[in-house]
Amino acid sequence: MTGHRWGYGEANGPSEWHKDYPIAQGNRQSPIDIVPTETVYDPNLPPITLSYDLCTSIGISNNGHSVVVEFEDVDDKAAIDWYSEVVTMICMCWQRQSHSQEELEPQHQMAQELGSLVKGL
């Protein structure tokens, strides 16, 4: 997803993203609203171990409402112990108003957001 092709307007906003990027549809999309009082600890989950391979090829773009870093090396990956994935993009979004572009509950809205696009291995 290149920074200049998507946005938050009527013609290029979230409801239109799936037309150019089919993976951007369905019920597993952002935002993920984690409500701390509703979380449940599972002692059977393994500890999270983060690791990464050095990325040698990236593209960076700024379209005025976000900075997008696209990782082009298909062999580079990030790993969380039992699950490996390729991080293909990191996006930092903002807007002048003091609320989120995404549709979060009012008590959880932020002025800036960080997202990543990953592909499981």
Residue with tokens 């807007």: 95
User: Pseudo-torsion of CA 26, 73, 66, 84, nearest 10°?
Assistant: 50
Active-site residue, 99 included: no
Picking from 30, 42, 15, 36, the residue whose alpha carbon sits closest to that of residue 89 is 30
Amino acid present at 36 = P
> For 18, which DSSP code?
H
How far apart CA 70 and CA 77 sit, in angstroms, is: 13
Which member of 4, 18, 65, 99 is catalytic? 65
User: For 19, phi and psi rounded to 5 degrees?
Assistant: -70, -40
Q: How many CB atoms neighbour CB 80 within 10 A? A: 13
List active site positions: 65
